[in-house]
Amino acid sequence: MKKKKPHETPNKEILWAAENGKLDIVIRLIESDPNLVNEVDTDGYTPLHRACYGNHFNVVGYLLSRGANVSAKTSLLWQPLHSACQWNNVKCVLYLLQNGADVNAVSEGGQTPLHIAASHGTSYETVQLLLMHPQIKAELTNNNGETAYDIAKRSSKYYHIFEMAMPALRGIPES
């Protein structure tokens, strides 16, 4: 008996296609079964999560236009925004935020998207975008008691962006 490839069922194919940026396949599958837009793998990742960590902006846009859950959570409570921030996929981060993603979503371990972006030395644009969001709570701490700034000081040459943003994040003092 011939063993099936991982993406030979529609449920697995949608996940594979989203991760690999195969918009034509994603469209075909969702047109034939709209419920596939929120399909999940064994770890709870949806096509939107996978498109975000693959940096496939066109797939992200299509999935959102077809009702993908911008707040879907994996088994580790990662939302698609966490996935986009992990890989510094700025366009995906922006599109998710424009479509209602929670900028302060907390994963297992208390990690926000800002914590995740701050842990990478290549995520300057993502950190900047998150810090500019009007609802950002940069002072949130993870389960280790660390803010994103604490993590950036340890892991990134871009920690100064937090220092520049802090006065604005705290608000203008009253006279």
Has residue 76 been placed in a domain?
yes
Select the highest-mean-pLDDT range: 4-8, 30-34, 156-160.
30-34
Same domain, 97 and 107: no
Name the residue range of residue 10's domain.
1-102
Same domain, 3 and 80: yes
Has residue 75 been placed in a domain?
yes
Per the structure, the count of domains in the chain is 2
Token code pair at residue 98: 């424009």
Same domain, 11 and 95: yes
The string of pLDDT tens digits covering residues 81-91 is: 999 999 999 99
Same domain, 89 and 118: no
Q: Write down the pTM of the prediction.
A: 0.91
Of 50, 76, 102, which residue constitutes the final position of a domain? 102
Which pLDDT does position 6 carry in this prediction? Answer: 54
Distance CA 21, CA 73 (A): 21
